[in-house]
Structure 1
């Protein structure tokens, strides 16, 4: 079992494999997931349960438990940090990108991506982890701001 240390870093990998490359399936849809549990109006559910600007329990559990095979991780050559990621909207449907909800806290999970060559969003990453660009450079990963 591949274990990620940083949930938000894992979400970046999920974004790449599930929503961009479509190689990690099935594709998770919070709206569909909640509909299957009897929630027809996701926005109302979030508001009624005071869940705005939080990662909902259902997608957190799904993505934490999601197994990503090593062979699939080895296909990741590029990661991007962008506040508009689909995976972020699946986790927190009422999120405006104005806080640190999805900030990466550590880069230990780089070990899981042996072929990573490019990280786009370096400026944002540098604000999350001050020495991030140096860590990437030491591993031969190009950071694009």
Structure 2
């Protein structure tokens, strides 16, 4: 099983596998998890009522940090999308508006876990240094 160092890069991979491809199951749903734990029916209200707005909810962080992704699934990732509208971000931080660096990828060391990655769309969100790193690895940075 893969061990990601950059939580935010792991989230981008999770979004691709869980919410786009549907190959990483079961799908995580923060509203369902909060309901099951008796914490309410509205993730927005939960975040505001618990001073967690614009943060990753602890329940989501715990889930995604512990989530194991098999090497076979990782080997199937050929393209990633960097975008503030990823579903995984809404599941992690229901109130987040994309106006800060909460989900910025800091490093690309985990790319070794994605042996067949060929393209990253929205790479402008990574900044010049990380885009140059992608290109140096032979990955298209669109």
TM-score range, shorter chain: over 0.9
Which consecutive unaligned segments of at least 5 residues does structure 1 have?
A: none
Question: 1:4: which partner in 2?
Answer: 4
Deviations 1:13-68 (A, max 9, x none): 00000000000000000000100001223222211111100000000000000000
Runs in 1 of length 4+ with deviation above 6 angstroms?
none
State the shift of 1:11 in Å: 0.1
Alignment correspondent of 1:139: 137
Q: Give unmatched runs, 5+ long, in structure 2.
A: none
Q: Distance in 2 between matches of 1:87 and 1:62?
A: 12
In 2, the alpha carbon distance for the partners of 1:139 and 1:62 equals 30
TM-score (norm 1): 0.94
Corresponding position of 2:77: 76
The number of residues matched between the two structures is 141
TM-score, normalization by structure 2: 0.96
The answer for the alignment partner of 1:35 in structure 2 is 35
CA distance in structure 2 between the aligned counterparts of 1:140 and 1:124, rounded to whole angstroms: 18
**Aligned counterparts of 1:105 and 1:56: Cα–Cα separation in 2:** 20
